A and B are shown apart, each in its own frame.
Chain A
Amino acid sequence: MSEKKKKRAHEPGRNTLLAMMAFFFLAFFLLALNDGKWESFALSAVVPAIIYLGTAGISHLFPSDRLLLSLTNFLCALGVLVLYRLSPTRGMTQAFNYGVGVGCMMLCAMLVRYVRSWKWLTALIMLGSIGLLALPLVIGKETNGAKNWFYIGSYSVQPSEIVKLALLISVSYLLSQRKVFLSLVFAGACLLMLMLQKDLGTALLYFGVTFILLYAATGSVPLMIGGVAGGAAAAVLGYQMFAHVKKRVAIWLNPWADSGGAGYQIVQSLIAIVNGGAWGVGLGLGNAQVIPEYYNDFIFSVILHEFGLVFGLVVLCMYLFIIIRGVMIARRCRTVFHALLATGCASLIALQTFVIIGGNIKLIPLTGVTLPFISYGGTSMLCSLCVIGLLQGVASRNKAGVKEDRELAMQGGEAP
């Protein structure tokens, strides 16, 4: 065996990728044996192929982080699998969203990789974000107590998901330029819009990400104390102002008090998790459809129900690795902007995952945010993959930086 082949065989990524492909081949094949549909048989070949192309192919085309890509692809494909199992139509739509999302991810990666000056772009993004957030207030439709959606024809759009990216880029850029006040004004304006839309789950994410970025950029303790105090005041104000927040807190404290009504969702979720046990009830054997919003807010409960607690921990570990990888990318950055951007991306994924999984297992009150990469929804999937795209762009910049450093080291010494 040649040296190159030996090296490839010992590559850790290669085996991981093979294991991922095997997982989805077996899972879709099992579903195909149950329903006998040709689509399921086709998916058992197509999904592993997409995982391979989405990881190895992209990293050949663009200098990206393969570990991050493979973990993201696994979670996205898991979302397609779970949704396809429960509702084939939604599964196929999610597969389409995944494909579009990969394109957007590449676009974001290239944006970060090649854009040198963010000054005007950031100004444009900030203005666009405020405009986008204002749209649901004007032409939006209220769903589950929040008015955070609007419709273009048959397509529904959630601007707060798109603005998440804008917030990451704008606040990171402004803080890298030491424009702390302006960044606070922008984040505050976004939070105000979200409060008006009563989209408090997303507002919590925005607040958390801004807080983390502010700490990473300034390290100022008084600012942090002010932030915590402000956040606590906003939480109390939100609780007093919005009836649906009070209701959600009451459900969180005791869902069994109204298990057939307001607490139905969380009670069904808890029952599904307990039924799943350590190993799950088996793929295709569960009855997770009884949980309202099983495809969206409660998809983690569905995974625990069908695949079990052990597999749930596997999924959590994958999120953890993505977050750790994000932090590693941030630490390797050459510029403050990129470091802050990567920190923001990692913290956004971490917060969003914690908020929704915590809500599913009754650790914290349930909020209407999606589980990144897995939950059903075009905007959510695109936004999550765009966040990974931003991280990939930063990783690619880091690789270019190391290459440059190596060249400089070869030249040695000072300029003449």
Chain B
Amino acid sequence: MSGDAYEILALLMRYVFAVIGALIVFRSFIWLRKDARAYRKEMRSLPDAGLIGEMVDLDTGKAQPLPREGVIGSSRECDIRVKGDGVLRRHVRFEFVDGKGLKLIPARRGLTLLNGVEMRGPGWALHGTQLGIGAHALRVRMFAGLNVPMPAAYPEPDTILDAADEEIPWTNITVENSYYLPEEQPADAVPFGGNPDYDGNYDDDGQMTWQYAYSMEDLRQEQAARQWIDSQEDAEEPEPRSRRKRRGRRE
């Protein structure tokens, strides 16, 4: 191509290049915006995105969302904030490890209780694990479907309060004298799967006691009741595949 012809062509093409460049920028902007919108929409449909459960304060009943990793402490920047005496600014660091559970790394030894046992190093929490931080008792509640080991049906005997043999009236249980607070239920509740034949363990005033809640015999009964419920669920006829598919699509 002759020099003059090329010059004319190159001079024309510079506008073409600028236009294509502007077009690319415009399309990229649209792309960026569409993606941001789609993500926002997706996040609206997944309000628990990025969370693995919640941490419930057993005194107040207040639940705080539990992210995959973060810090529990009194500082404003903490992911789980608990205030009060004996709570450090950054008390425990936690990190969810797939297949293992929630790894807890306390800032100082002996200031945190994991299921009633003083933590002297990193420890693992599962669904239902109770943490004692200062005067607070926190329970870990994890979402179903997470790849974590199943928690034991009941706590190991040696992690239960040393004074478990002592009968503490239900009404007298405080954070200080308990490591495991029983599930919230009325004093006259019929325990374990509504077995009316089970008379429970009550004190002289007819109040449910600590011993009742966590005696080994009761826990064995609880486990048996759970196994029975599981076996009933297993025995149920499975939903047909086509119906399951339709339901999944609707969801």
| Interface positions of A (Cβ within 8 A of B) | 12-13, 15-16, 19-20, 22-23, 26-27, 30, 33-34, 36, 67, 70-71, 74, 178, 219, 279-285, 307-308, 310-311, 314-315, 317-318, 321, 324-325, 328, 332, 334-336, 401-402, 405-416
Contacts and interface: CB of A to CB of B under 8 A. Distances in A.
Given A33-B9, A415-B146, A409 B20 contact: no
Contact of A279 (B14, B30, B50): B14
A55 to B, nearest CB: 12
B4 to A, nearest CB: 12
A326 to B, nearest CB: 12
B10 A30 contact: yes
6 contacts: A23-B21, A279-B14, A311-B18, A408-B48, A408-B146, A415-B53
A280 B14 contact: yes
Nearest to A281: B14
Nearest to B126: A415
B17 A67 contact: no
Nearest to A412: B144
Interface in B6-21: 6-7, 9-11, 13-18, 20-21
Interface in B137-170: 141-146, 148
Contact of A16 (B27, B90, B143): B27
A61 to B, nearest CB: 20
A16 B35 CA distance: 14
A413 B21 contact: no
A282 B14 contact: yes
Interface string B69-101: 101000001000000000000100100000000
A307 B93 contact: no
A92 B248 CA distance: 53
Dominant secondary structure at the B interface: helix
B17 A23 contact: yes
B249 to A, nearest CB: 12
A74 B141 CA distance: 48
A328 B36 contact: yes
Given A26-B13, A282-B7, A402-B46, A321 B144 contact: no
Nearest to A177: B93
B24 A74 contact: yes
Contact of A414 (B49, B127, B251): B127
A360 B42 CA distance: 42
A411 B145 contact: yes
A35 B134 CA distance: 79
A406 B1 CA distance: 59
Given A314-B18, A408-B144, A414-B144, 11 more contacts: A23-B24, A30-B9, A283-B13, A284-B10, A321-B28, A328-B32, A328-B35, A401-B50, A402-B49, A408-B146, A410-B251
Most-contacted residue by chain A among B24, B31, B32, B50 (CB, 10 A) = B24
Nearest to B1: A33
A108 to B, nearest CB: 22
**Which 7 residue pairs across A and B have the least CB separation, nearest first?**
A411-B145, A282-B10, A314-B21, A12-B31, A415-B127, A16-B27, A405-B49
A307 B18 contact: yes
Nearest to B142: A415
A178 to B, nearest CB: 7
Nearest to A280: B14
B34 interface: yes
Contacts of A281: 14
